[in-house]
């Protein structure tokens, strides 16, 4: 190259092929407005969605499912038949502090175990068969037909033995650890209040006569709660959170697959650029409709999500050691869910263009995290988020993952809900994408018009001919 080709027309100064200066752009208001507005809206929405659902779950908890098993047979003292277990159960259900927050269902022991084995209850309150007789005996008032009441068992499936005056609280961390904490935090003060009521009743019956120190201590607090886990989650399950982590990873597999395919396919078709390090590439645009472009991305998403979800489970179960029963079913389910999210992400790009990525992040990721029930249970979410959780894919993915990982892949433990929701979501996104994109094509709302494509083709041919001539 000749030296004078690098010099400007005056004074032989070096020519600047890139004359735009930093200060020239930074002084333009239009350069600032769009990123400031978009970033502010997205960050404000993310914060509102994520924190509003979790900042105070106790204030929003409603209808948290808890079972109540009252097996107390009661006892006869003199001529009066006492049933303290029934009084406590009725008192708990009538207490506004309990009934306003928990859905306390009176059931049998087998019904309670069935509900907890399907993730439908966070805890079960168990009042043992000889509860009243044990309280009376401990208070020095042995009931008729009984010499003494010793420790009572809460049942063959309980994790421990309840002593005199002990109500057992069986927790179900497989359904959600925060839900268990909320249920426990609501029930224990309510039982303590019931204990004070029972204390007054027993003290009145026992009279003001002399009592030894142990009896006095017992009468002051006759009802206690012993807490134990009912079928704790597997050892390698992140204390019952592995289902949530896996659901989130599945969602991200779909979202990332859709995002990556949008950019790479567009770059291969010439409708986007490819930049790796200092290398910037723009291919000649191909004459292809929006509809055919969408079909290509959907077809590739079906394959890519199968690969990445399989890799995800291989790393989670193989390399990391996460407990993963039913691996084939788990992979098929993850593939379906990820494919549904990927299809939706691709549709949002196809319909909205570049803003589709921001909408997908808010819709799938942050709105999903806020309403999934993975950390804060759905029953402790504000009303808006409860409604949102009915449609958000992350909650449905989580329901199926919990069923597979913790509840023996039972259909009614959440697996059917997850499969049906993922299938409906996939079909809905396919329908929306088909209708909107084909409408764009019918209205000639092309990404590049045929005339512009022909002009670009002629320009490329002319440029290549010029290069060959040189």
Q: What is the DSSP string of 274-337?
A: EEETTEEE-PPPP---HHHHHHHHHHHHHHHHHHHHHHHHIIIIIIS----SSHHHHHHHHHHH
Q: If pLDDT is split at 50, 70 and 90, which confidence band does 31 have?
A: confident
Q: If pLDDT is split at 50, 70 and 90, which confidence band does 19 have?
A: confident
Question: So what's the pLDDT on residue 208?
Answer: 59
What is the average per-residue pLDDT within 138-155? 56
Q: Contact 75/148 with Cβ under 8 angstroms?
A: no
Three-state DSSP state, 344:
helix
The predicted-structure confidence for 56-98, as pLDDT tens digits, reads as follows 898 899 999 999 999 998 888 877 788 899 999 999 999 999 9
**In terms of residues, how long is the chain?**
470
Q: If pLDDT is split at 50, 70 and 90, which confidence band does 210 have?
A: low
Q: Contact 87/142 with Cβ under 8 angstroms?
A: no
Question: So what's the pLDDT on residue 11?
Answer: 55
Question: So what's the pLDDT on residue 49?
Answer: 85
Q: If pLDDT is split at 50, 70 and 90, which confidence band does 161 have?
A: very low
The predicted-structure confidence for 242-281, as pLDDT tens digits, reads as follows 999 999 999 999 999 999 999 999 999 999 888 888 898 8
| 51/53 Cα distance (integer angstroms) | 5
Three-state DSSP state, 360:
helix
| 418/426 Cα distance (integer angstroms) | 12
Question: So what's the pLDDT on residue 215?
Answer: 80
Whether the model pTM is above 0.75? yes
Q: Contact 28/36 with Cβ under 8 angstroms?
A: no
The predicted-structure confidence for 354-399, as pLDDT tens digits, reads as follows 999 999 999 999 999 999 988 899 999 998 999 999 999 999 999 9
Q: Contact 133/103 with Cβ under 8 angstroms?
A: no
Q: Range with the lowest mean pLDDT among 156-165, 208-217, 439-448?
A: 156-165
Which is more confidently placed, 431 or 284?
431
Question: So what's the pLDDT on residue 372?
Answer: 92
Whether residue 148 has pLDDT greater than 90: no
Percent of the chain with pLDDT over 90: 60
User: How many CB atoms neighbour CB 37 within 10 A?
Assistant: 10
Burial 128-167 (b: 16+ CB within 10 A, else e): bbbbbbbbbbbbbbbbeeeeebeebebbeebeeebebbbb
Three-state DSSP state, 351:
helix
What is the average per-residue pLDDT within 438-461? 90
Provide CATH 3.40.1710.10 ranges for the chain: 59-203+216-229
Which residue from 329, 365, 363 is spatially nearest to 347, judged by alpha carbons?
363
CATH of range 59-203+216-229; options 3.20.20.140, 3.40.718.10, 3.10.129.10, 3.40.1710.10? 3.40.1710.10
Q: If pLDDT is split at 50, 70 and 90, which confidence band does 157 have?
A: very low
Q: If pLDDT is split at 50, 70 and 90, which confidence band does 162 have?
A: very low
Q: Contact 400/415 with Cβ under 8 angstroms?
A: yes
């Amino acid at each position: 190259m000749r030296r004078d080709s690098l010099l400007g027309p005056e004074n032989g100064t070096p020519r600047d092929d890139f004359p735009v200066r930093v200060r020239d752009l930074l002084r333009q208001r239009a350069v600032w407005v769009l990123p400031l507005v978009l970033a502010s809206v997205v960050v404000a929405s993310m914060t509102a969605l994520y924190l509003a659902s979790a900042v105070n779950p106790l204030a929003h908890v409603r209808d948290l499912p808890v079972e109540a098993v009252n097996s107390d047979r009661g006892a006869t003292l003199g001529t009066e038949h006492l049933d303290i277990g029934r009084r406590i159960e009725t008192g708990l259900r009538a207490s506004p502090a309990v009934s306003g927050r928990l859905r306390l269902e009176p059931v049998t022991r087998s019904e309670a175990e069935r509900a907890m084995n399907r993730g439908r209850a966070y805890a079960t309150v168990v009042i043992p068969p000889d509860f009243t007789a044990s309280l009376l005996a401990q208070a020095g008032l042995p009931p008729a037909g009984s010499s003494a009441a010793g420790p009572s068992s809460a049942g063959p499936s309980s994790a421990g033995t309840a002593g005199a005056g002990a109500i057992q609280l069986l927790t179900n961390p497989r359904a959600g650890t925060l839900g268990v904490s909320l249920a426990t935090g609501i029930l224990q003060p309510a039982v303590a209040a019931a204990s004070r009521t029972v204390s007054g009743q027993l003290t009145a019956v026992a009279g003001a006569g002399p009592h030894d120190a142990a009896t006095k201590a017992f009468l002051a607090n006759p009802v206690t709660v012993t807490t134990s886990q009912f079928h704790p989650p597997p050892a390698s399950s992140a204390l019952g959170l592995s289902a949530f982590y896996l659901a989130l990873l599945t969602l991200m597999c779909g979202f990332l697959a859709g995002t990556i395919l949008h950019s790479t396919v567009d770059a291969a078709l010439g409708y986007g650029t490819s930049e790796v390090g200092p290398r910037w590439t723009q291919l000649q645009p191909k004459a292809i409709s929006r509809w055919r472009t969408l079909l290509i991305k959907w077809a590739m998403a079906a394959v890519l999500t199968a690969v990445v979800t399989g890799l995800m489970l291989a790393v989670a179960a193989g390399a990391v050691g996460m407990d993963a029963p039913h691996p084939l079913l788990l992979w098929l389910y993850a593939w379906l869910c990820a494919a549904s999210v990927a299809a939706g992400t691709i549709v949002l790009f196809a319909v909205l263009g570049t803003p589709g990525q921001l909408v997908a992040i808010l819709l799938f990721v942050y709105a999903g995290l806020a309403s999934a029930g993975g950390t804060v249970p759905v029953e402790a979410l504000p009303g808006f988020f409860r409604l949102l959780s009915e449609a958000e894919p992350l909650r449905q993915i989580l329901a199926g993952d919990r069923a597979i990982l913790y509840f023996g892949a039972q259909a009614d433990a959440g697996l059917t809900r997850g499969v049906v929701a993922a299938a409906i979501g996939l079909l809905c996104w396919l329908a929306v994408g088909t209708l909107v994109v084909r409408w764009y094509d019918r209205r000639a709302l092309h990404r590049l018009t045929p005339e512009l494509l022909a002009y670009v083709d002629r320009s490329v041919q002319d440029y290549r001919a010029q290069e060959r001539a040189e």
